[in-house]
């Protein structure tokens, strides 16, 4: 298992372990998947940083302690409360609140990734492949049949993708910052799309420990209402790449 830094260092909150996703064009969507993955379209994404792993129970516990918030559902369930498992049972609102707290605590503007950023990152710079590792089915992964039996795995147990991201397309669904529209690709801008202006469901990406197919394709899309709190929903955080993206103290709320 990969060791990740303790979020509390010398009484201060350390920043998540991040990797830089380079700027570039990529082909978003799939011509062979679900209708909401079409049409395939060329998208430019500016460089950004993304957490190497999904937010863990340890990291989320620090947030709960600092803001005095009640824990999410499943918090005390033994299938979900290992310190290095991804936190689950969080709504989109909870994930956004965590990003706001992390921003205020570190003076850096953290947020949820967009759908386009997430897919760009999940593909790891490989065009046209179904999965981060290529086109081989998930069942070909080592120990696939015996993994994820009663809940998500602790983060970082499997190999990362080419960009250094762990558990991408697996473990839990990850909230994105976009509203969801199944037809958005037909009208999406070709540079840094951020989803429709509104909606009733928030976009999410990635696989789920409780699904029959536990590792999803890079292009696969999902969504649920933003207040739902499911045992297979978590998130990872993103932020900009510029050294100057630190906020002045006066702007912190």
Does residue 151 belong to any structural domain of this protein?
A: yes
Q: Is residue 159 part of a domain?
A: yes
Query: Is residue 108 one of the residues assigned to a domain?
Result: yes
Q: Which domain holds residue 54?
A: 8-251
How far CA 253 is from CA of 13, 98, 102, 242, in Å, comes to 17, 13, 11, 22
- For residue 1, is it within any domain? no
Respond yes or no on whether the N-terminal peptide bond of residue 39 is cis (omega within 30° of 0): yes
pLDDT tens for the chain, 253 residues long, are 565 555 554 346 778 999 999 999 999 999 999 999 999 999 999 999 999 999 999 999 999 999 999 999 999 999 999 999 999 999 999 999 999 999 999 999 999 999 999 999 999 999 899 999 999 998 888 888 778 889 999 999 989 999 999 999 999 999 999 999 999 999 999 999 999 999 999 999 999 999 877 899 999 999 999 999 999 999 999 999 865 444 433 333 2
Contact 203, 232 (CB under 8 A): no
In a domain, 82, yes or no: yes
| CATH assignment at residue 170 | 3.90.1580.10
Residue 3 in any domain: the answer is no
Encode pLDDT of 168-204 as tens digits: 999 999 999 999 999 999 999 999 999 999 999 999 9
- With respect to residue 2, please indicate whether it lies within any of the assigned structural domains: no
In a domain, 141, yes or no: yes
Count structural domains, the chain: 1
Q: To the nearest 5 percent, what fractions of the chain are helix, strand and coil?
A: 20, 20, 60
């Amino acid at each position: 298992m990969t060791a990740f830094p303790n979020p509390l260092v010398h009484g201060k909150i350390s920043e998540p372990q991040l990797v830089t996703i380079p700027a570039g064009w990529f082909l978003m969507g799939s011509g062979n998947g679900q209708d909401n993955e079409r049409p395939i379209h060329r998208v430019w994404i500016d460089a950004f940083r993304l957490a190497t792993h999904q937010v863990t129970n340890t990291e989320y516990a620090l947030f709960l302690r600092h803001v005095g918030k009640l824990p999410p559902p499943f918090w005390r369930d033994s299938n979900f409360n290992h310190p290095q498992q991804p936190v689950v049972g969080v709504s989109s609102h909870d994930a956004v609140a965590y990003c706001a707290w992390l921003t205020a605590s570190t003076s850096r503007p953290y947020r949820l990734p967009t759908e386009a950023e997430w897919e760009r990152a999940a593909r790891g710079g490989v065009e046209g492949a179904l999965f981060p590792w290529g086109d081989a089915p998930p069942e070909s992964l080592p120990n696939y049949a015996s993994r994820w039996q009663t809940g998500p795995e602790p983060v970082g147990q499997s190999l990362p993708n080419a960009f250094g991201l762990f558990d991408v397309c697996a473990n839990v669904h990850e909230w994105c910052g976009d509203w969801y529209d199944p037809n958005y690709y037909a009208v999406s801008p070709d540079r840094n799309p951020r989803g429709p202006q509104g909606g009733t469901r928030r976009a999410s990406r990635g696989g789920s420990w409780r699904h029959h197919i536990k590792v999803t394709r890079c292009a696969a899309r999902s969504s649920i209402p933003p207040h739902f709190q499911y045992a297979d929903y978590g998130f990872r955080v993103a932020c900009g790449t510029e050294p100057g993206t630190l906020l002045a103290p006066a702007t912190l709320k």
